[in-house]
Amino acid sequence: GENVEQHPSTLSVQEGDSAVIKCTYSDSASNYFPWYKQELGKGPQLIIDIRSNVGEKKDQRIAVTLNKTAKHFSLHITETQPEDSAVYFCAASRGSYDKVIFGPGTSLSVIP
Amino acid sequence: ETGVTQTPRHLVMGMTNKKSLKCEQHLGHNAMYWYKQSAKKPLELMFVYNFKEQTENNSVPSRFSPECPNSSHLFLHLHTLQPEDSALYLCASSQGNGGSEQYFGPGTRLTVT
């Protein structure tokens, strides 16, 4: 079955710097890759997703890149702010009617 | 507010107790999920319901029993749990199974004593 790995497990950056989280997946049939943010006391919330027919997607300060050949994808957060501090999860799925497999998470701390 | 509510938010139960977790979604979604979140482990998918039919049981012990009476409500019945079952239990819903955004509730923090 699908296995998703995520690095680093913890990440500290200064406010205003960039943060990068990397994930790899094992199932070459996966074609949907969402990223979720979980704040303390809340459930995960989707922040961006990418499908296999594109290599990059951007939404304001957040961008995701996908390399299907290497089976890895990354989350990039620019101009980090304290409110970006949270746990971030990457995930992979074969798409409709298939379960989503989550990575173990990255705890991001943005230091003011 | 994600449109997915869970009750109770916190639960402490003994190993011989029987309790139930409730999830309700107000989004008109067709699929609902139970996940277990333990410290320093990936989110573990437990059960998936699609149009009220169970489509996934991820080798979950029988002491966890799900129930989905309609597309808006999902229950997780608990009995004779073990201390290692202590975790955050998250409910989620989506339009379809996989390949679409999942909306999570805030979770129920379960402690088994």
**Phi–psi pair at A31, nearest 5 degrees:** -140, 5
Q: Spell out the residues 6+ positions from residue A69 whose beta carbon is closer than 8 angstroms to its own.
A: none
Q: Residue A43: name the closest of B109, B86, B96 by CA.
A: B109
pLDDT of residue A2: 83
Say yes or no: B39 contacts chain A, CB-CB below 8 A.
no
Segment A83-92 mean pLDDT: 96
Say how many CA atoms lie within 13 Å of B10 toward its Cβ.
2
Number of helices and strands (H, E) in chain A? 0, 11
B97 to B33, B91, B100: CA distances (angstroms)? 9, 14, 7
Q: Mean pLDDT lowest for which of B19-33, B73-87, B96-110?
A: B96-110
pLDDT of residue A85: 98
Q: Which chain B residues are within 8 Å of A103, Cβ to Cβ?
A: 42
* pLDDT class of B95 with cuts at 50, 70, 90: confident
Residue of B nearest to A106 (CA): B40
Tokens of A51: 């499908």
